[in-house]
Chain A
Amino acid sequence: MTDMSAPANPPFRPSMLIYDRRYRSMTFQVIVFILVMALAWWLVNNTIRNLAALGKDFNFGFLWQRAGYDIPQTPIPYTSDDTHFRAAVVGLLNTLIVSILGCIAATFVGIIAGVARLSNNWLIARLMTVYVEAFRNVPLLLWILIVFAVFTEIMPPPNAFRGDDPAASMILFDHVALTNRYTAIPTLAMTNDPGSLDLGARITFNWATIAFVLVLIGGWFVRRMIGAWAQRVQDQTGSRPTTWWMSLAVMTVPSLLLIWFFGLHFEAPELRGFNFAGGLNVQNGLVALWLALTLYTGAFIAEIVRAGILAVSRGQSEAAFALGLRPGRTMNLVILPQALRVIIPPLISQYLNLMKNSSLAIAVGYMDIKGTLGGTTLNQTGRELESIVLMMGVYLVLSLIISAGMNVFNSRVKLKER
């Protein structure tokens, strides 16, 4: 043998698990893994044994029993004869409604407030600072309760609209009534109803709605094609054709034709009996929750937007101006694409926060999934563990879906290294 000079591998001894760097990290990982598993096993085992001691089992059969309670806002048809499962779905849809409305509105509020806070106008900038600080630093639940209390205490009750000389009157040409229970708004009605697409389980979509959605999606694609054509012309000739009227026409004319075809019109609400009927009564719980979530999350988004804009160095906009770009194009083509890279990741977590914060809905009697599955259903059936586990699963899946969607968007705007 010739390699006597090289250090031979010493034989393995147990103490090397601690003292030998090659094994030490592995040892600690194994120990931590065993501890974590033991903790998980203990939690599960403890739960099972305590449930057994109480004589309870773990079973989701209750979801198929009759719910027996009513829900104020039902996006899909629901009566007290339906199952707890359907009640949970109604709650989930209500969660989604307020979350989606909240995300859209909070984004608008956040962008406006964030840009305005950077404004050179002293008053606007200070006002936005006050807004951001007031909403960021007071608990959300208080804002929800305050907004709800304002609606309940200040708005007139529906019967104030009654009589020849009513104490309150409807606004917007007698089409909208603000009351202390709900905001009565007109519904869309059709003289030429095409009927509905039945998806089973009493879930239907009106064909007119489907037609509008398809027309809007089609319009969006045509608009992109117009943009690409304008780009081609600009590349060839150097001057960009005016396209705004084409885009506008593509987005509106087909919709207007559909409106004419279906005979779409507003049906104003009117007072019948105790309440307004004929229109759509948007509950104050939803409006209060939506407003509070919007303003609260908007304050955080404003700060994110401000940080994103400040992250783009001033030289970028100066260079764009030097090339002769107008301020609008500078924003769209130079500043925003760079700012979005900074803005999108924290924006995702704000959307997630908003969706999870919507579970405070029960404070204003808005029946979201926490109110149906985690509230009345849990209480009437006594299935605490099952309901909570199911609810955690639902929120987890919703969060992951939002994250996945936003990550796709993020990967499109982030810095592409070539």
Chain B
Amino acid sequence: MKTSVFLGTVAAATLMAGAGMADTLADVKARGELNCGVNTGLVGFAAPDANGNWTGFDVDICKAVAAAVLGDPSKVKYVPTTGQTRFTALSSGEVDILARNSTWTFSRDTDLKLDFVGVNYYDGQGFMVRKDLGVTSAKELDGATICIQTGTTTELNLADYFKANNMAYQPVNIDSNAEGEQQYMAGACDAYTTDASGLAATRAAFADPENHIILPEIISKEPLGPAVRHGDSNWGDVARWTLYALIAAEEYGITSKNIEELSKSSQNPEVQRLLGVTDDLGAMIGLDKDWAKRAILASGNYGEIFAANIGEQTPIGLARGLNAQWTQGGLMYAMPFR
């Protein structure tokens, strides 16, 4: 009896250890649901609406991946993560993909064992202050109290920026965007700093957005993108090419409106390959022919997703800027589908 318990323990240990090497694509298909790590609440990027449905720019990435893999954009379980918990959630297997405005950096890509699959938003860190503070430049913030989310790259950039400019500041460490908003509104900090897109989204949720300004200085590069675990290259490919499919669709003028028509009539070989009319690209990443079509149908192409969630027609009102297609002078550039 003792021996069998012992052997059983050994067997269980081996099984558990083996789970670390698992095939995420097979796991997601078997589960029938994609676990997607998102922000705890950042309007425009990822936030639950009045009915509890998650919407936003990052949420639409989750939907596109779920549509490509499972055939249904609604089969997503959204796991809210804070700046502190997000990477642990990913590396422990709690989420399959992290679509949570996370900056692609060297140490996260290598030491933290993440794989960033691309960039869905080119951002930079900025400062927001009240208009009546009379500050017009970040260089005038010497001695200010600044709210900062812990566990973010912005925390490190802030320290570097003030050191480089020989200025002092008092950090107020906060855990989530909602808490930062509350502290900033109560005047517990003079300035709130995070990615400029996040500042715009936060300001849009204020009752008096006109009384707050975002200072012109952008103090860092913040390429935000979805990330997966290191070591499962096939799953990384699925996520990467789903993102590229959305970006390429905009470049070729494929929208959720005309996609059915284009898949029948388009003579453009690139479009035909992307939509699975001619080559079977999906088989190469373990999916079927229509994967990209479904991904684009989920919430539209990259441009549609941008316009619907954070574009100039929304309260957040972000211009495309760096995030325009490369053909329009931006940095959005999908690798060729061939």
Stretch at the interface among B118-126, B187-195, B251-259: B187-195
Q: Does B272 contact A (CB under 8 A)?
A: no
A376 touches B155 (CB 8 A): yes
Does B160 belong to the interface (CB within 8 Å)?
A: yes
Provide the residues of chain A in CB contact with B20, threshold 8 Å: 49-50, 52-54
Across the interface, B144 reaches (CB within 8 A) one of A31, A55, A275, A381, namely A275
Question: Complex: how many Å from CA A189 to CA B112?
Answer: 47
Contact status A365-B5, CB under 8 Å: no
Closest to B143 in A: A273
Across-interface contacts of A144 in B (CB, < 8 A): none
**CB proximity of A281 to chain B, nearest CB, Å:** 8
Chain A residues near B2 (CB-CB < 8 A): 31, 34
CA distance A118 to B87 in the complex (A): 53
The reply to whether the CB of B213 lies closer than 8 angstroms to some CB of chain A is no
Residues of chain A with a CB closer than 8 A to B229's CB = 54
Q: Which residues of A contact B285 (CB under 8 A)?
A: none
A380 CB within 8 Å of chain B: yes
User: Which A residues touch B312, using CB under 8 A?
Assistant: none
Contacts of A46 in B (CB 8 A): 13, 16-17
Complex CA–CA separation, A55 to B109 (angstroms): 13
A402: CB under 8 A from chain B? no
Bound-complex Cα distance A162 to B18 (A):
64
B231 — which chain A residues lie within 8 A by C-beta? Answer: 53-55
Q: Tell me the nearest residue of chain A to B114, going by C-beta.
A: A382
Alpha-carbon separation in the docked complex, A257 to B160 (Å): 46
* 6 A-B pairs closest in CB distance: A53-B20, A49-B17, A379-B151, A157-B187, A382-B112, A80-B159
The yes or no answer to A264 lying at the interface (CB within 8 A) is: no
Name A69's closest neighbour in chain B (CB-CB): B155
CB distance from A275 to the nearest CB of B (A): 6
Q: B150 within 8 Å of A by Cβ?
A: yes
Distance to closest chain B CB from A173 (angstroms): 25
Q: Tell me the smallest distance from the CB of A268 to a CB of chain B, in Å.
A: 18
Check: A126 CB closer than 8 A to any chain B CB: no
Among listed B54-62, B166-174, B217-225, B328-336, interface-contacting one? B166-174
Knowing that A70-B169, A181-B145, A363-B175 touch, tell me 4 more A-B residue pairs with CB under 8 angstroms.
A70-B158, A152-B186, A365-B173, A365-B175
Say yes or no for A127: interface residue by CB 8 A criterion. Answer: no
**For residue A35, which residue of chain B has the nearest CB?**
B5
Complex alpha-carbon distance, A31 and B163, angstroms: 61
